[in-house]
Amino acid sequence: MTKNFFVFCIIISTLLSVLAGCSDEKSYIEYYEKGKSLYSSQKLEEALPYFEKTIMLNRKFKQAYVMAAKCYFYLNRESSALDILEKALKLYPDYTDANFWSGKIYYFLKEYNHAKEYLHAAVDEASNYIDARYLLGDIYLQERAYEKALLNFNVVEANFDVIALSKLKKGEIYTYSKQYENALGELLFIEQNK
């Protein structure tokens, strides 16, 4: 009898642990989604605690680090943004978005050597990361390293060709759907950005 009771207690304990784990997983995702919603509404001060709580509940949820860093950055708290990105990069050294945002923050702080280090790490993982390429191009332009600047700006420009093609296709779809104003908007974008 006591043996059966002991086994029953172990089973109940295991079941409760599993259910608690599911609850934590659900809650960290809920916190993250609430933070994203507030961030999208430009309520950065309100969004930040949700991303921090997400990290506290699941420190391996890498997207929360970047979202918290973006909040800090746009709240002019660059050192806090860099601190949280450093934590993300310790867990995920090749995390493209964390490298990009570290580079972007250093770029705006005019710490170009640090910026280049992180931006290069971002393009090493995603060679067509046009935001990183643009910032690298601008840094090299300021440093008068014109060949390197051109290389990066050429990558940015090549991606805009794809955007123009996408705009053409969207214009075509809108035309087929008889949404002529939307089609015209897509074509005007191309005309204005030649």
pLDDT in tens, 31-56: 999 999 999 999 999 999 999 999 99
Does the residue 99 lie in any domain? no
Domain identity same for 22 and 80: yes
Domain identity same for 60 and 17: yes
Does the residue 108 lie in any domain? no
Domain identity same for 161 and 76: no
Domain identity same for 133 and 78: no
Average pLDDT over residues 170-185: 87
Does the residue 132 lie in any domain? yes
- Give me the domain span that covers residue 175: 123-193
pLDDT band at residue 11, thresholds of 50, 70 and 90? low
Please name the residues in contact with 52: beta carbons below 8 A apart, sequence gap of 6 or more: 68
6 or 81: which leads in pLDDT: 81
For residue 126, give Cα distances in angstroms to 103, 129, 155: 14, 6, 12
Domain identity same for 179 and 134: yes
Please name the residues in contact with 165: beta carbons below 8 A apart, sequence gap of 6 or more: none
Identity of residue 92: Y
Of 77, 92, 107, the residue that ends a domain is 92
On whether the CB atoms of residues 185 and 193 are closer than 8 A, the answer is no
Q: Rounded to whole angstroms, how far apart are CA atoms 48 and 53?
A: 9
Domain identity same for 129 and 88: no
Q: Rounded to whole angstroms, how far apart are CA atoms 49 and 93?
A: 24
CATH number of the CATH domain containing 163: 1.25.40
Of 46, 75, 92, the residue that ends a domain is 92
Does the residue 74 lie in any domain? yes
CATH number of the CATH domain containing 28: 1.25.40.10
Domain identity same for 79 and 130: no
Does the residue 101 lie in any domain? no
Domain identity same for 68 and 148: no
Average pLDDT over residues 131-137: 97
15 or 151: which leads in pLDDT: 151
> Model pTM?
0.75
Q: Rounded to whole angstroms, how far apart are CA atoms 49 and 26?
A: 17
91 or 22: which leads in pLDDT: 91
On whether the CB atoms of residues 96 and 104 are closer than 8 A, the answer is no
Does the residue 104 lie in any domain? no
Question: What's the total number of domains in the chain?
Answer: 2
Q: Rounded to whole angstroms, how far apart are CA atoms 1 and 34?
A: 49
What percentage of residues in the chain have a pLDDT greater than 70?
Answer: 86
Domain identity same for 127 and 88: no
For the chain, what is the total number of helices (H) and then of strands (E)?
A: 9, 0
**DSSP secondary structure letters along 131-164:** HHHHHHHHHHHHTT-HHHHHHHHHHHHHHHHHHH
